[in-house]
Amino acid sequence: MVRTRFAPSPTGFLHIGGARTALFSWAYAQRHQGQFVLRVEDTDVERSTPEAVQAILDGMAWLGLNHDEGPHYQMQRMDIYKQHIQKMLEDGSAYYCYSSKESLDALRASQMEQGIKPRYDGHWRPEAGKVLPEVPQGVPPVVRFKNPQTGTVSWDDLVKGRIEIANAELDDVIIARADGTPTYNFCVVIDDWEMGITQVIRGDDHVNNTPRQINMLHALGAEVPQYAHLSMILGSDGAKLSKRHGAVGVMQYHEDGYLPEAVLNYLARLGWSHGDAELFNIDQFCEWFDLDHITPSAAQFSTEKLNWYNAHYIKEKSPESLVGDLTERLTKLGVNLENTPVTSDIIALYQERVSTLNELAEAIAFFFQMPAIEPALLEKHLNEAAVPVMKSLYAQLEQHEAWDKDSLNALVSAFMKDNGLKIPKVFMPMRAMLIGIMQSPDLYAVMALLGKAEVLARMNLALIKKH
RNA sequence: GUCCCCAUCGUCUAGAGGCCUAGGACACCUGGUUUUCAUCCAGGCAACAGGGGUUCGACUCCCCUUGGGGACACCA
């Protein structure tokens, strides 16, 4: 049974890289009829917050990445870790180290200065025939894993291929702090083992932790899972994404008017491919997904392409299904919808013209409230020549009973013909008066949806201002 | 500094020795459709980092160089 997991640490929101890791992990489980486990790695008490846990849960729920098991919280599994540490202490695969943090820092600094890789010097590491220093009084020790010193650790990474690292490169990692709490590298090992994880799909930044983890698994007599290390996502400028540089939570995409299906499709194509396929839904993705077609190199995030996906999925939506969302967004924009509700007809008129739902909300706002019209714009299009024409058209519209697109078309067309007017002479001033923007969908449809009273009122307002 | 990883159009990528005069997508440009804009349609621009090998043949395999990234915490 395939079991994958997503193991975020709740120190911030679920960012785009984390979301992709979760997506791939989740999809792998789906593809193989396996299970997807969610595990919250909250052992860093200083930085973990319940808000962050919630943000991660929200983000995953929004994307529809549902877990089959969990969330497990590492802080609630302390007893398990401590038992294992005790056992390792007893069988000699771990030992107490009394070196102070200060002396360790000093050691690291001097090693860096000498140009060698900083690592623990094995001061307290027990060895056959070695006499350990005298245990200092009142110093609570940390526990270190006794890593093998010779040979190499290797594994066949599912995305990067074979990776080998010499044990000589590894030092004895701390698995329990002085206060007795276990550290990340140890918890991961125990959890992946005890939770029966078969494929560990995680970020690139863990490649260097993998050999230590494999060594610990061996010491524990546990089976080693398969590993797949995903390369990271870079900002659109090629630089690393960080809090102060472009990294935002996935929920921010919701805020900004992106559809989860667009984010999902985009993320799926970032570093993974299925021939020339660009547009596919989540079910299709789960059917196709495999680890063989993941690019081992880092990928740059592109808002342009995300926008393209989003525009596509917005077009695909039924207008009805967008009514609720747009109502919320318009309300947030401060648009009063009490008198005129958002309708699917209005949405339909604009949904293929935007790339985000926020743009859609902004675009249709003029249906519900009088837009602010640039005086200069009105001046330009409702000029000396246009005023009498519009007054005359106003009179005709006032008499017009039917107020649908086709009859308006018939009326205005006849009006233009009778007066020998070219289309722009009528349309441009109308746009200026009604919406204050010179580009719009079919003007007759706009007029029909605006309603007779509103059209006349706006024309009137503009014409009065004129004189 | 040490170790690990990576390297095809501006960007995301296809490519598992001959199918490659290197394909698709985004962006960009041109044309068409359109009352305007957008959509849509048609077309175009644009890449195998460099140098050595291996081979009849290399984008594909090996080595080096260069460039980029990551890891080196009592963080995860």
- The protein residue nearest nucleotide B24, judged by CA to C1', is A276
pLDDT, residue A461, reads 86
CA of A311 to C1' of B29 (A): 22
Q: Calculate the CA A248 to chain-centre distance.
A: 7
pLDDT in tens, A280-332: 999 999 999 999 999 999 999 999 999 999 999 999 999 999 999 999 999 99
Q: What residue spans of A184-259 are helical by DSSP H?
A: 184-194, 210-220, 250-255
Residues of A marked as catalytic: 243
Lookup: nucleotide whose C1' is closest to A299 CA:
B12
pLDDT for A246 beyond 80: no
Report whether pLDDT(A189) > 80.
yes
Query: Residues near A241 by Cβ (< 8 Å), separated by ≥ 6?
Result: A15, A16, A17, A232, A233, A234, A235, A247, A301
Report strand pairing: A152-157 vs A226-230: unpaired
Per residue in A123-153, pLDDT (tens digit) is 899 998 888 888 888 889 999 999 999 999 9
CA A260 / C1′ B43 distance in Å? 33
Distance A11 CA to B76 C1' (A): 9
For the CA of A56 and the C1' of B68, the distance in angstroms is 30
- From CA A262, how far away is CA A313, in angstroms rounded? 6
pLDDT at A84 over 80: yes
Residue A176 has pLDDT above 80, yes or no: yes
* Residue A465 confidence (pLDDT): 73
Full-prediction pTM beyond 0.90? Answer: yes
Q: Name the H helices within A114-257.
A: 184-194, 210-220, 250-255
On strand B, nucleotides with any atom < 7 Å from a protein CB are 1-8, 10-16, 23-27, 35-40, 68-76
* Gap from A352 CA to B30 C1', Å: 23
When the pLDDT of each residue in chain A is averaged and rounded to a whole number, the result is: 92
pLDDT on residue A380: 85
- Residue A178's nearest nucleotide, by CA–C1', is B74
- pLDDT value of position A242: 65
The nucleotide minimizing the C1' distance to residue A309's CA is B26
Average pLDDT over residues A176-200: 95
Per-residue confidence band for A374, with pLDDT thresholds at 50, 70 and 90: confident
Protein-to-nucleotide distance from the CA of A364 to the C1' of B51, whole angstroms: 60
Q: What is the pLDDT of residue A351?
A: 95
| A10 Cβ contact partners less than 8 Å away, ≥ 6 residues apart | A40, A41, A42, A48, A49, A50, A52, A53, A55, A56
ipTM over 0.90: yes
Per the DSSP assignment, residues forming a β-bridge with A94 are A145
Residues pairing with A142 in the sheet: A97
The amino acid that residue A33 corresponds to is Q
Cα-flanking dihedrals φ and ψ of residue A461, to 5°? Answer: -55, -45
Predicted pLDDT at A467? 58
Confidence of residue A244 (pLDDT cuts 50, 70, 90): low
- Closest nucleotide to the alpha carbon of A171, via C1': B72
Q: What confidence tens digit (pLDDT) does each residue in A376-399 have?
A: 888 888 888 888 888 889 988 888
- Nearest nucleotide from residue A111 CA, by C1' atom: B1
* Closest nucleotide to A157 by C1' from CA: B5
Question: Residue A466: which pLDDT band, with cuts at 50, 70 and 90?
Answer: low
| pLDDT > 90? residue A373 | no
Cα–Cα dist A171/A152, whole Å: 13
* Separation between Cα atoms, residue A194 and residue A201, nearest integer Å: 17
Amino acid making up residue A250 = V
Residue with CA nearest to B6's C1' atom: A297
Region of A78 on the Ramachandran plot (φ > 0 left; ψ -120 to 50 alpha; else beta)? alpha
C1' of B50 to CA of A163 (Å): 26
Position A1 scores a pLDDT of 94
Point out the residue nearest to B13 (C-alpha to C1'): A273
pLDDT > 90? residue A105: no
